[in-house]
Structure 1
Amino acid sequence: MFRPTIKQRGESRNRSTFQPSSTDGVVLQCDLLPSLAFFYDSYVSFQVLLTAAGNECLRLYLGYIGNLSDKVPELAGFWLLSLVPQLPLQLFLLLNQNIMLQPLEQIVQSLSVLLLIIQLLTGFFALRHSSKVHAEQSRLRILLWTQQKDD
Structure 2
Amino acid sequence: MLIRPRDPADLDACVEALAQVHRADRYPVDWPDDPRGWLSPADLASAWIAAEAGAVLGHVGLTRDGEVTRLFVTPAARGRGLAAGLLGSVRAAVRGPLKLEVSAEGEAAIAFYERSGWRRVRSSRADWINAGGEPALLHHYVSS
For normalisation by structure 2, the TM-score amounts to: 0.25
Greater share of strand residues, 1 or 2?
2
Greater share of helix residues, 1 or 2?
1
For normalisation by structure 1, the TM-score amounts to: 0.24
